[in-house]
């Protein structure tokens, strides 16, 4: 665990430190597009944040390659190199898009090519462990098509949800954290080495998001752009593909009794085709709704609009920060709820807990004007924007209402020399 934490921290540090210089470079390079009708921000903001995130990925892989335990991942598997190859390609296309606005079909083709590059190097789905059925072996073509489909879906799901400051990075970080715990459990609890690459990918992905978030929280100083959103989407998909199609349930049945029990232990993460959607259910739902909505209107599925879930939260009346926190809440509920269910699917308390938290989430959705108040003892630990504002009371002044006193004082009443009037114990002379 210490080596994973070290890799995470170094990845986060490199990403954080490089984001500032990348922001200056983006401004000089002119990667600051004009504000569009669907945008939420009010001022032009530089993109190309994916440059810092990509170098954070490279730093994380480089450090892991030199650590004693994590070095085995590079020696026994070609998946880290496959990930880096696909990530470099998709990142390059994203950088060009952030600067020159590449056509959507070209980006789609690049996503498929990046997925194909990873498949050629061994990062592919070999079989599907279907609950209550067993392991279903896939042919080469079936595995390739399924792998490419999962990569494209996950990349676009993350790209579609990147509409508010800190939203995509935070949601992917939450999904990566839940996925890391699940993969780490399979790797160390069951001793299955095939889960090691997915565990490493998740740790690095968390570091990339955590390092970028301080620069991207509202009000954002820089956007990750397509170079960042497509990159983290591809890494999340790579981890899902690695652990879904590479870990053999036959190895787990030695610990849980039978193959069917082994597959059942991996529910719901091992649901074929839906595995990435379980981890990022909210972005995936947003993607599906966007495609249906645009197709129903006769538009292209790639035509941008203001109908995403985060846009609807703003229209209901939620503030920018609250809309982001609500999306965080639902992502964490689904991701960690799936994690808890995969650990102990027979516990009724897990189901009741998820149901109770879902009810809380619905209340938050229906109360956009509600402002939570933190206790007074916690005020010093909160950012200034979330602290209670003290009521401003005007101090009592001896000359609080001199004008009113002058107007109501009759002529000659209390008048002094040259028409001066005594007000509040002081002599006030009229203006000449």
Report the mean per-residue pLDDT for the chain. 76
The phi, psi pair for 30, rounded to 5°, reads 80, 25
C-alpha torsion sign, points 137, 189, 231, 3: negative
Residue 334: predicted pLDDT: 81
**Per residue in 79-108, pLDDT tens?**
999 999 999 999 999 999 988 888 888 999
313 vs 73: which has the higher pLDDT = 73
Identify the helix (H) or strand (E) that includes residue 423: strand 421-423
Q: Is 97 annotated as a binding residue?
A: no
Residue 419: predicted pLDDT: 44
Average pLDDT over residues 268-297: 63
Residue 127: predicted pLDDT: 79
Examine the pLDDT at 398 and tell me if it is beyond 60: no
Residue 405: predicted pLDDT: 39
Give every CB contact of residue 414 below 8 A, 6+ residues apart in sequence.
421, 422
Distance from the Cα of residue 285 to its chain's centroid: 15
- Listing DSSP states for 266-318 in one string gives TTTTT-TTTHHHHHTHHHHHHHHHHHHHHHHTT--TT---S-SHHHHHHHHT-
Residue 409: predicted pLDDT: 41
Q: What percent of the chain has pLDDT over 70?
A: 65
Between the alpha carbon of residue 281 and those of residues 172, 287, 340, the distances in Å are: 11, 10, 16
Which residue bears the tokens 């690695």?
242
Whole-angstrom Cα distance, residue 169 to residue 49? Answer: 11
- Listing DSSP states for 383-398 in one string gives -GGGSPPPP--PPP-T
Whole-angstrom Cα distance, residue 124 to residue 143? Answer: 6
Contact predicate 111/90, CB 8 Å: yes
Give bridge partners of residue 137 from the DSSP assignment: 127
- Listing DSSP states for 62-103 in one string gives HHHHTSTTTHHHHHH-SHHHHHHHHHHHHHHHHHHHHHH---
Domain spans, the chain:
2-34+44-285
C-beta neighbour count of 72 within 10 angstroms? 12
Contact predicate 112/236, CB 8 Å: no
Q: Is 248 annotated as a binding residue?
A: no
Two tokens, residue 23: 């922001």
Examine the pLDDT at 386 and tell me if it is beyond 60: no
Residue 90: predicted pLDDT: 95
Examine the pLDDT at 275 and tell me if it is beyond 80: no
Residue 200: predicted pLDDT: 92
Q: Among 65-74, 109-118, 191-200, 206-215, whose mean pLDDT is lowest? A: 191-200
* Candidate ranges 125-134, 154-163, 385-394, 421-430; pick with highest mean pLDDT: 154-163
Query: Would you place residue 418 in the very low, low, confident or very high pLDDT band (cuts 50, 70, 90)?
Result: very low
**Per residue in 207-255, pLDDT tens?**
999 999 999 887 888 989 899 999 999 999 998 888 876 666 555 555 5
Average pLDDT over residues 307-333: 72
**Per residue in 29-83, pLDDT tens?**
888 766 655 555 567 788 889 999 999 999 999 999 998 888 888 988 889 999 9
Query: Would you place residue 18 in the very low, low, confident or very high pLDDT band (cuts 50, 70, 90)?
Result: very high
- Listing DSSP states for 101-153 in one string gives ---HHHHHHHHHHHHHHHHHTT-S--EEEETTTEEEE--HHHHHHHHHHHHHH
Examine the pLDDT at 167 and tell me if it is beyond 60: yes
- Check whether the bond before 268 is cis (ω within 30° of 0): yes
Two tokens, residue 114: 């990046």
* Candidate ranges 39-48, 169-178, 314-323, 363-372; pick with highest mean pLDDT: 169-178
Contact predicate 276/244, CB 8 Å: no
414 vs 114: which has the higher pLDDT = 114
Identify the helix (H) or strand (E) that includes residue 162: none
Query: Would you place residue 392 in the very low, low, confident or very high pLDDT band (cuts 50, 70, 90)?
Result: very low
Examine the pLDDT at 305 and tell me if it is beyond 80: no
Q: Among 62-76, 267-281, 311-325, 393-407, whose mean pLDDT is lowest? A: 393-407
Query: Would you place residue 401 in the very low, low, confident or very high pLDDT band (cuts 50, 70, 90)?
Result: very low
Whole-angstrom Cα distance, residue 267 to residue 276? Answer: 13
């Amino acid at each position: 665990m210490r080596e994973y934490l070290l890799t995470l921290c170094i990845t986060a540090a490199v990403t954080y430190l490089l984001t500032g210089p990348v922001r200056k470079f983006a401004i000089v390079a002119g990667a600051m597009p004009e504000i569009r009708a669907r945008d939420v921000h009010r001022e032009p903001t530089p993109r190309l944040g994916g440059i810092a995130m990509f170098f954070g990925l490279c730093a994380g892989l480089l450090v892991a390659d030199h650590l004693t335990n994590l070095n085995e991942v590079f020696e026994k598997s070609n998946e880290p190199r496959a990930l880096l190859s696909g990530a470099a390609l998709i990142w390059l296309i994203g950088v060009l898009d952030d600067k020159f606005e590449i056509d959507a079909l070209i980006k789609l083709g690049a996503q498929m090519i990046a997925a194909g590059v990873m498949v050629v190097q061994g990062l592919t789905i070999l079989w599907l462990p279907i609950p209550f059925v067993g392991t279903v072996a896939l042919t080469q073509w079936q595995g390739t098509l399924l792998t490419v489909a999962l990569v494209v879906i996950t990349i676009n799901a993350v790209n579609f949800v990147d509409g508010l400051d800190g939203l995509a990075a935070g949601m992917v970080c939450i999904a990566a954290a839940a996925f890391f715990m699940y993969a780490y459990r399979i790797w160390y609890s069951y001793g299955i080495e095939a889960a090691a690459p997915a565990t490493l990918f998740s740790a690095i992905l968390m570091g990339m998001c955590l390092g970028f978030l301080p620069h991207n929280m509202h009000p954002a100083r820089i956007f990750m752009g397509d170079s960042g959103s497509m990159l983290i989407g591809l890494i999340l998909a790579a981890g899902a593909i690695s652990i879904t199609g590479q870990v053999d349930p036959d190895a787990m049945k030695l610990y849980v009794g039978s193959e069917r029990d082994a597959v059942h232990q991996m529910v719901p993460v091992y649901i074929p085709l839906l595995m990435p959607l379980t981890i990022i259910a909210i972005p995936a739902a947003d993607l599906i709704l966007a495609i249906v909505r645009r197709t129903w209107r006769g538009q292209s599925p790639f035509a941008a609009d203001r109908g995403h879930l985060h846009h609807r939260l703003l229209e209901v009346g939620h503030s920018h920060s609250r809309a982001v926190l609500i999306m965080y809440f639902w992502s964490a509920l689904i991701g960690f709820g799936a994690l808890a269910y995969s650990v102990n699917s027979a516990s009724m308390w897990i189901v009741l807990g998820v149901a109770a938290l879902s009810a809380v989430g619905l209340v938050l959705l229906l109360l956009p004007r509600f402002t939570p108040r933190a206790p007074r003892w916690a005020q010093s630990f909160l950012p200034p924007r979330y602290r209670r504002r003290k009521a401003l009371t005007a101090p009592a002044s001896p000359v609080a209402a001199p004008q009113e006193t002058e107007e109501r004082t009759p002529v000659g009443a209390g008048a002094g020399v040259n028409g001066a009037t005594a007000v509040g114990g002081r002599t006030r002379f009229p203006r000449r």
